[in-house]
C-alpha cells in the first residue's frame, strides 16, 4: 500500500512508519485532542480545517517523505 497526503489520517496514524513521518513534520498530531474527528479524512482535507497549522509547505514535505516509502 502506498501512502500520500490523500491517505486517510487514521490509516497514516495506524502505521508506525507513517505515524513517525507525521510526528516529524507535525509534532503532537497523534495526541491532538481533536484528532479523532479527522481520522476518516485525507490529510490534505484535514489541513484545510487546521486553522493554518498544517501549511501547504508542510503537506509537501510530508508527501515527499511518504512517497519515498515506495
pLDDT at residue 26 in the model: 95
Quick one: cell of 42? 485525507
Contacts with 21 (C-beta within 8 Å, 6 or more apart), sequence order = 12, 62, 65, 66
**Rounded to 5°, angle at Cα 63 from 4 and 59:** 115
pLDDT at residue 9 in the model: 96
Average pLDDT, consecutive stretches of 10 residues, N- to C-terminus, the chain (70 residues): 94 97 95 91 94 94 94
pLDDT at residue 2 in the model: 92
- Its pTM surpasses 0.75: yes
Q: Nearest Cα to 15, choosing from 6, 28, 2, 25?
A: 2
Cβ–Cβ under 8 Å, residues 41 and 35: no
Amino acid at each position: 500500500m502506498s501512502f500520500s497526503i490523500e491517505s486517510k489520517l487514521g490509516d497514516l496514524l495506524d502505521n508506525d512508519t507513517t505515524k513517525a513521518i507525521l510526528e516529524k513534520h507535525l509534532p503532537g498530531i497523534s495526541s491532538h485532542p481533536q484528532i479523532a474527528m479527522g481520522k476518516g479524512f485525507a490529510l490534505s482535507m484535514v489541513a484545510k480545517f487546521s486553522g493554518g497549522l498544517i501549511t501547504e509547505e508542510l503537506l509537501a514535505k510530508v508527501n515527499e517523505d511518504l512517497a519515498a516509502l515506495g
